[in-house]
Each structure stands twice: as C-alpha cells, then as structure tokens.
Chain A
Amino acid sequence: MKFLKFLLVGIVFGIVMTKSEALSWFRIQEMFRFQAFHMYGIIGTAVILGVTGVALIKKFRIRDFHGNPITFHPKEK
C-alpha cells in the first residue's frame, strides 16, 4: 500500500500532461518556432511556483510525511 500514493500522483501527472497538451508534438513544434506562449507559460508557472516553494521548504525546514527534513541533492556537475 505504500506505493498507492505514487500510483495516484502518477495518474494525476498523466492527466496533467494530456490535458495541458504539453505532451503534444504540435505544441512542442509551436514552442520551438516561438509561435505561442502556451508551453512557456506552463514551464514558467511551474518553475516560479517551484522556486518559491523550495525556498519556503528550506527557510522553514519543512518535513515530509515521515517526519524527515526535506533535503535537496545537488545535481552532478
């Protein structure tokens, strides 16, 4: 049962990628040709909220549901 939550978040992710049309080859072409804002809006919104949320997690040392501090691992250079 410990995997059920990941299945549910995965289902939501699949729905988001489809309903946002971010997985559409046509939307990706439109993005690389700079002919619409849609994809930039999606990524931009996600990153702005992500940066804000991660900064808050670090500042307030927010813990995960196990009670462990949420930590971030630097990407390899």
Chain B
Amino acid sequence: MTLAEFIVQPWSWWFSGLMIAAIMFSLLYFGQTFGFSSNLRTICAAAGLGKKAKFFSFNWKSQAWNLVFLIGAILGGFIAREFLSNDEPVKIAAETISDLGKLGFAAPNGLQPEELFSLQSLFTWKGFLVLSVGGLLVGFGARYAGGCTSGHAISGLSDLQVPSLIAVAGFFIGGLIMTFFIFPLIF
C-alpha cells in the first residue's frame, strides 16, 4: 500500500475515537469546551434575537471562538472530501443496504444518500419538507436539551454528568423511534 492509498482510505473506529477525544482535550487546553450546537444559540444572539428572547441575550462575542471552530470544521470537511478521500462509497453492512433498499434507498454511492441530500430532492415537496422540518427539529432539540452529540455525549459523559447521560439516552431513543416507526411511514 502506498502512502497516498493509506491516506485516502476511511479511518478506523479506534483512531477516529482517539482523534475526537484529542479535539475535546485541545479545546480544554485552549480554555474552552467542546460543544458544537452552542453555535446555533450564538448565531441567533449575533443576529440580534436577544431583543426578542432572553435566551439569546448574552455576550455572544465571548463565543466567537466557537464560530471560528465551526468555519474550520466546514473547511476541514471540504479538505477531507477533495484531497484526502477516494471516491469509494461508504462500506456499510449488507443488512443495512437491504433494509434501506426496502424503503426505496439505493445502495451507497458516496457518504450520503442522494434521495435525501441533493438539489433534486430539495426541489420536491417531500424532500424540502423532510430537510427543513428535520433541520428545525435538530436545531430546536439540540438547544432544548442544552447540547448535542459533542456537548453531551463527548464532553458531558467524559465529565460523568448525569444530565448528559439522560440526554444521550434521549437522543438514542429518538433515533430508534425515527428509524423503526416514523421512517417506514415517510418512505
């Protein structure tokens, strides 16, 4: 295997987990905490919504570092996709491909299904509703719970926080309900 081939293959679960922990500790070392969806509240505050709701009334500039982190994450995703990836589809389990096939999803062609995440899908009523209502629920839920997978599952659980454990259990139960009960109704 050449070095280039080594770099473009997907990373193993243990190396990925190690890197996520390394990111959390880097942010702690720089005097901050790892929590990605806090940015949603910061953006609303920066947009001036503090006048309308107390929740958005705080010194958002103290959170500007996290917005920079967010921009970095977008850049990083672009770099990984353009320069550090082969174009092979994500290798998910055969059972998953078969289960998703029954719901009308083709086998993976990349990292995301075009049936959901594409301009073509966005310009259909169903695709538009799924993406916009889904985005709204994710945004509201992450703030209502006080965090998302990064703030609760990684930062919170690492600090053995009970509210985080409850939140993570909630995310997971929500995901199961969506996958097994609501999904078959939509697709």
A interface with B by C-beta (< 8 Å):
2-3, 5-33, 35-47, 49-51, 53-54, 57, 64-66, 68, 70, 72-77
Known A7-B69, A19-B11: A54·B159 in contact at CB below 8 Å: yes
Asked if B2 lies at the interface with its beta carbon under 8 angstroms from chain A, I say no
- Complex Cα spacing A14 to B73, Å: 4
Enumerate 11 A-B pairs (CB-CB under 8 Å) in ascending A order.
A7-B71, A9-B72, A11-B79, A13-B76, A18-B76, A18-B85, A20-B19, A29-B99, A33-B95, A36-B96, A77-B163
Q: How far does the Cβ of B184 sit from chain A's closest Cβ, in whole Å?
A: 12
- Complex Cα spacing A7 to B147, Å: 21
Residue pair A11, B76 in contact (C-beta under 8 Å): yes
Closest to B179 in A: A32
CB contacts (< 8 Å) of B27 on chain A: these are 6, 9
Q: How far does the Cβ of B62 sit from chain A's closest Cβ, in whole Å?
A: 13
Asked if B70 lies at the interface with its beta carbon under 8 angstroms from chain A, I say yes
CB contacts (< 8 Å) of A26 on chain B: these are 90, 92, 96, 100, 108, 111-113
- Proximity string of chain B (74-92) to chain A, C-beta cutoff 8 Å, 1 when within and 0 when not: 1111111100110000101
Q: Number of residue pairs across A and B with beta carbons under 8 Å?
A: 222
Asked if B120 lies at the interface with its beta carbon under 8 angstroms from chain A, I say no
**Besides A6-B66, A51-B157, 13 other A-B contacts (C-beta < 8 A):** A9-B26, A9-B69, A10-B73, A16-B76, A19-B85, A20-B10, A23-B111, A26-B90, A30-B96, A35-B96, A41-B17, A45-B21, A65-B29
Residue pair A19, B84 in contact (C-beta under 8 Å): yes
Residue pair A66, B31 in contact (C-beta under 8 Å): yes
Residue pair B179, A54 in contact (C-beta under 8 Å): no
Asked if B133 lies at the interface with its beta carbon under 8 angstroms from chain A, I say no
- Complex Cα spacing A73 to B27, Å: 14
Known A36-B93, A75-B164: A47·B13 in contact at CB below 8 Å: no
Asked if B125 lies at the interface with its beta carbon under 8 angstroms from chain A, I say no
CB contacts (< 8 Å) of A41 on chain B: these are 13-14, 17
Asked if B45 lies at the interface with its beta carbon under 8 angstroms from chain A, I say no
- Complex Cα spacing A72 to B167, Å: 18
Known A7-B69, A10-B68: A24·B79 in contact at CB below 8 Å: no
